[in-house]
Structure 1
Amino acid sequence: MPGRRSRNRPAKPRPRTGRGSGPLSCEEYEARRYELAAELLPRRLRNVALGLDPARRGTAEEFRLRAGRPLTAVFPEGEEELPGGAERVVQGSDLNLTLDIATQLSAYSSVETLRAGYITVPGGFRIGVCGTAVLKDREVSNIKNVSSLALRISRERKGTAEEVLGALRENGRFQSTLILSPPGGGKTTLLRDLVRLLSDGSTGMPGYRVAVADERGEIAVCYNGTPQMDVGARTDVLDACPKAAGMMMLLRAMNPQIIAADEITAPEDIKALEAAANCGVKLAATAHAEGIPDLLSRPVYRSLLSLGIFKKAVVIRMVEGKRLFTVEDVPCCG
């Protein structure tokens, strides 16, 4: 069945977070998030990052710091070294200093998420950490000898999901939906805004109680229990808990009408989704795939589709540097 297509519209103006007053334009907001992320870097690397052409700052998605290698930024079109000569080369001390800045010299407060390979920073930023895993009872208890960092420049793009929400409803009710794209395609950003709209309510649709199983802290980006991203007024977030266990906990404890989860990957995730659907809960989730045919080529996802619990799919594709959303009906392949 042909899908419904729509181009990603610019985000609505955001409240000003820097100096001055008045709303930020979309372009100003995107660039300001880049600058705020750069403030988490040591001064020398911060200056390198701020040497990037201001016109390109709004499209950068991550900073990548690797010991002995130049500082890079990830853009939709790929990863690039930032200009700056020898000053841009990352030293081992830069990695530790970045973590000190991010945790405000209280790394112990981030030990729980560090075991999973990342830390969350006030303001909604997230840093992935690589190094030497410290094992205790055959489980990761910490990471030492840090060798690289991935600083994600997270952004809210409010309004992103508005153009697809209407196609995800039948008889005025939201239908369980999968969001699909290759890595870096914008699935989490779209899911976050969809959660916000479902929670707050929108034209012709009341607000739902939404529960988010935020295993890796990327949807709500909680810091000390407070979401750093707007996920709506009726949303409950379970942070840093494995998705399968988290969905079951939310199902039992929070009486949700919708459960949202990022990156469904394992059979236990599918069992939890099935249990929630059998209790009458609607679902919103993401998966790495180029489209439904790609899902059907993999046993885990083929078994998911065979359950018939997801009715709609939003497929995200990059077309001429812009994200194109296609809403499709999900076939039952049982």
Structure 2
Amino acid sequence: MQEKECMRRYAEAAAILPVRLRTLALSQPDEVQVRAEEFRLRAGRPMTVLTPEGEIALEGIVEPEELETLCDLATEFSRYAASETLRDGFLPVRGGFRVGICGTAVMKEGVSTNLKSLSSAAVRIAREHKGIARDLAPRLFSDGAFVNTLILSPPGGGKTTLLRDLVRQLSEGAEGIGPRRMALIDERGEVAVMVQGEPQMDVGPHTDVLDGCPKAVGIPMVLRAMNPQIIAVDEITVREDLRAMAMAAGCGVGLLATIHAADVAELAQKPLYRQLLEERVFRLAVRITATAQAGRAYRLETLPC
């Protein structure tokens, strides 16, 4: 992403902050703004800017009232409309940003229904990297058919960013391959970042998004309702996810998913993911690796039979 675009997105994320903290954020040097990933606010502590090298503390102490103001700004002064995600500890924000929230959970029958006495927040500076999947997307097809594919990397390795651009690319049509009807199960709201039914990130013209729904529930829903050609999900974590995807594969639908794992060898070491390999639901893996130039490389591998 070009430097000016990075700084523009930084300024847009800073606009969510209360005025005093916004001024502090915008006073940071260009090199910090370009590399910043999050603003971290903790009551009674200085606000920090998270970069790949760590957190940079700014002047001044975050007041509890400023966390409340942050929530008002993020929800456009309509917390009630955002209550369903706020109780889960996050707020999707217009423009593709996301605010994580901590505080005191209001519990009812073992379920969190709200957060009060806010104590900290993380404003994620969302940046799209359009085009990173351009060369990769056509290689996920064999004889014109999409091959079920996993995206692998450790946490923070760029899985969601690559998934988003692959969904967009497949929805628009990869090189030599026509557009595909995509169904995106965005359980945590981090891929499309839906606000009032509209995706804030570009996930393509032929993509249907099911937001905030568990994957094991959402996959059968889109199979019945949306007739997708490919279903995409972020982060397989439980056995129920595997069952739902195996069922979808049996219906002839393509699958694209991410998993926390450095490589295929690590997958084989974990019982849940070993089962995934044994059942051969997925045939390809994209392994994300860091490069010396602080970029990322995408290595396509065939999964073992």
Deviation at 1:166, TM superposition (A): 3.0
SS, match of residue 126 in structure 1:
strand
* 1:250 maps onto 2:222 in alignment: yes
| Structure-2 residue corresponding to 1:14 | none
C-alpha distance in 2 between matches for 1:166 and 1:208: 12
1:314/1:327 contact within 8 Å kept: yes
C-alpha distance in 2 between matches for 1:216 and 1:269: 14
2:229/2:253 contact within 8 Å kept: yes
Deviation at 1:91, TM superposition (A): 1.6
CA RMSD of aligned residues (A): 1.3
One of 198, 211, 217 as aligned partner of 1:239: 211
Question: Deviation per CA, 1:226-280, whole angstroms, max 9, x where unpaired?
Answer: 1111111111001111111011111111111100011110011111111111100
C-alpha distance in 2 between matches for 1:134 and 1:327: 45
* 1:126 maps onto 2:101 in alignment: no
C-alpha distance in 1 between matches for 2:52 and 2:142: 33
Deviation at 1:171, TM superposition (A): 2.1
* 1:44 maps onto 2:17 in alignment: no
SS, match of residue 136 in structure 2:
helix
| Structure-2 residue corresponding to 1:179 | 151
One of 58, 70, 74 as aligned partner of 1:98: 70
2:138/2:177 contact within 8 Å kept: no
Q: Which amino acid aligns with 2:259?
A: A
| Structure-2 residue corresponding to 1:7 | none
TM-score for the superposition, normalised by structure 2? 0.96
Deviation at 1:112, TM superposition (A): 0.6
TM-score for the superposition, normalised by structure 1? 0.88
| Structure-2 residue corresponding to 1:328 | 301
C-alpha distance in 2 between matches for 1:227 and 1:178: 23
Deviation at 1:72, TM superposition (A): 1.6
Say how many residue pairs are matched: 304
SS, match of residue 69 in structure 1:
coil
| Structure-2 residue corresponding to 1:55 | 31
1:52/1:82 contact within 8 Å kept: no
* 1:282 maps onto 2:257 in alignment: no
2:17/2:70 contact within 8 Å kept: yes
- Residues 71-82 of structure 1 mapped to structure 2, 5 A cutoff: 71-77=47-53, 79-82=54-57
**Percentage of pairs with the same residue:** 52
| Structure-1 residue corresponding to 2:82 | 110
Which structure 1 segments of 5+ residues have no match?
1-10, 12-25
SS, match of residue 142 in structure 1:
strand
SS, match of residue 135 in structure 2:
helix
One of 58, 66, 69 as aligned partner of 2:42: 66
C-alpha distance in 1 between matches for 2:112 and 2:223: 28
C-alpha distance in 1 between matches for 2:36 and 2:141: 33
| Structure-2 residue corresponding to 1:20 | none
Q: Which amino acid aligns with 1:245?
A: V
SS, match of residue 156 in structure 1:
coil
One of 292, 312, 318 as aligned partner of 2:290: 318
SS, match of residue 283 in structure 1:
strand
Deviation at 1:327, TM superposition (A): 1.2
| Structure-2 residue corresponding to 1:156 | 128
Question: Deviation per CA, 1:130-181, whole angstroms, max 9, x where unpaired?
Answer: 1111111211111111111111111111101112223322223321111111
1:259/1:283 contact within 8 Å kept: yes
SS, match of residue 243 in structure 2:
helix
| Structure-2 residue corresponding to 1:263 | 235
| Structure-2 residue corresponding to 1:8 | none
C-alpha distance in 1 between matches for 2:157 and 2:101: 21
Greater shift, 160-169 or 145-154, is seen at 160-169
- Bigger relative CO (Cα 8 Å, ≥ 6 apart): 1
C-alpha distance in 2 between matches for 1:60 and 1:285: 27
C-alpha distance in 2 between matches for 1:145 and 1:263: 30
2:101/2:122 contact within 8 Å kept: yes
Deviation at 1:74, TM superposition (A): 2.1
| Structure-2 residue corresponding to 1:273 | 245
